[in-house]
Amino acid sequence: DSGVTQTPKHLITATGQRVTLRCSPRSGDLSVYWYQQSLDQGLQFLIQYYNGEERAKGNILERFSAQQFPDLHSELNLSSLELGDSALYFCASSVESGTYEQYFGPGTRLTVT
Amino acid sequence: GNSVTQMEGPVTLSEEAFLTINCTYTATGYPSLFWYVQYPGEGLQLLLKATKADDKGSNKGFEATYRKETTSFHLEKGSVQVSDSAVYFCALSDALGKSTFGDGTTLTVKP
């Protein structure tokens, strides 16, 4: 158990819909990262937050957005969903921002039908 | 931008065989390098790390050395077990917090 929690574990929704994925980092960690893992594109870094502020951005679509709240939990919002958005979404946390190891949550499996 | 290239898989070995999974990277500055492991149905777990040139990370019999001259961070284990079957990811994190992962290498160890 990494100490990072993600909800929900599974999510099934229809194209065009909007969903919110939630992540609670390990106690004491200030950075949160979001990743998308799909069979055809591997593990893609989406975005990182540090202590409530966006710190680094990866291959995140404009339809996707995230935020980190004062209690340090984070939410990833996915809107106008397409079939290709079906994937595993992982959250990870680290103690600080930068060259630190990350601790991954168990993931949310999103299926868009 | 940063990139990580991993040896293509899948890799199939017999128990007690020697394992090498190659990893090379491209990055500006001085990133930290990591190997993560993902077991079926689970998230990634940190296996080992190295934060500067010539550092050797080690854990559970796995080792990798940060080679700046060859921009490599190859994963090795002297004697694999069936329980080592998993997907292995090489990754780097730069000072800005941006993380880059390789495509992953699937290892299957047969008894």
* pLDDT grade for A90, boundaries at 50, 70 and 90: very high
Which phi-psi region, left, alpha or beta, contains residue B104 (left: φ > 0; alpha: ψ -120 to 50)? left
Q: Answer yes or no: do A97 and B97 touch at CB < 8 A.
A: yes
Q: Which among A14-18, A99-103, B94-98 has the top mean pLDDT?
A: A14-18
What pLDDT does A41 receive?
Answer: 73
Average pLDDT of chain B, as a whole number? 93
Which of B30, B97, B101 comes nearest A50 by C-beta?
A: B97
Minimum distance, in Å, between the CA of residue A16 and any CA atom of chain B = 27
Per-residue pLDDT reduced to its tens digit, A39-66: 777 889 899 999 999 998 888 999 999 9
Which regions of A2-106 does DSSP assign to beta strands (E)? Answer: 5-7, 10-13, 19-24, 31-38, 42-50, 53-57, 64-68, 74-78, 87-94, 103-104
* pLDDT grade for B30, boundaries at 50, 70 and 90: confident
CA-nearest residue of chain A to B93?
A99
What pLDDT does B98 receive?
Answer: 79
Kindly list the residues from chain A whose CB atom is less than 8 angstroms away from the CB atom of residue B93.
Answer: 98-100, 102
What pLDDT does B109 receive?
Answer: 97
Based on the number of CB atoms within 10 Å of its own CB, is A10 exposed (0-12), middle (13-18) or buried (19 or more)? Answer: exposed
* pLDDT grade for A33, boundaries at 50, 70 and 90: very high
Contact between B10 and B87 under an 8 Å Cβ cutoff? The reply is no
CA distance A3 to B75: 26
What pLDDT does A2 receive?
Answer: 85
Per-residue pLDDT reduced to its tens digit, B15-29: 999 999 999 999 988
What pLDDT does B76 receive?
Answer: 98
* pLDDT grade for A21, boundaries at 50, 70 and 90: very high
What pLDDT does B19 receive?
Answer: 97
> Residue B77 contacts by C-beta under 8 Å, 6 or more apart in sequence?
B18, B19, B61, B62, B63, B84
pLDDT above 90 (res A100):
no
Pairing of strands B3-6, A87-94: unpaired
A and B: number of Cβ contacts within 8 A: 66
